[in-house]
Structure 1
Amino acid sequence: MADKDHFKNTTISGQMPEELSIPLQALWHDGKGDWKTAHDLIDHLDDRVAAHVHAYLHRKEGDLWNAGYWYKRAGKPVPDQSLEEEWEELVQLYLSTT
């Protein structure tokens, strides 16, 4: 996977890139507008990366208490940027670490 712009374009084309980590798969589904599939993928995972994506998903859902819980589990502050900006930052961050 080259970069977040390419990743974002794949959500438009509907062709999920191969060999994405589960957190990136969740972000991909969320980018396509499928919050439920994104949440179902990440909900059972326990590591900090999954907690970070899980937090974002609950923030997007509007469940700020639950989002705060997951940001704390991820060791991350609750962001004050837009959801779109956070999605792009998460994609960029986790593309660069995989």
Structure 2
Amino acid sequence: MPDQEKPPALDIKLPWYAHAIAGWPIALVALGGLLGGIYGALAYSVSMTILKKKGCSAVTYAVAIVIGLVAVVAYFVTIQALAAAFPNIFRQ
């Protein structure tokens, strides 16, 4: 059985600002707790995978920012759906 090696693209070390650009959606955890953290971590994971596979360029940074924005929108859509489905929980 041949040794299975990781593709070399996934071993790339990215600069700190690539992590900052990809990781900003994790701040959703402060706003949304566990659900926000899940969306933020998912966005970070997808963004880092793209940055590692495609390299650091203006286009991939823009894609990472868009992925983060999609995570924020998805979080708010989920909260609105939960509020509509369970109105008694969201009443103050």
* Same structural fold, with TM-score higher than 0.5 when normalized by the shorter chain: no
Q: What's the TM-score bracket when you normalise by the shorter of the two chains?
A: under 0.3
Q: How high is the TM-score relative to the length of structure 1?
A: 0.25
> What's the TM-score once normalised by structure 2's chain length?
0.26
- Rg (Cα) greater in structure: 2
The structure where helix makes up a greater share of residues is: 2
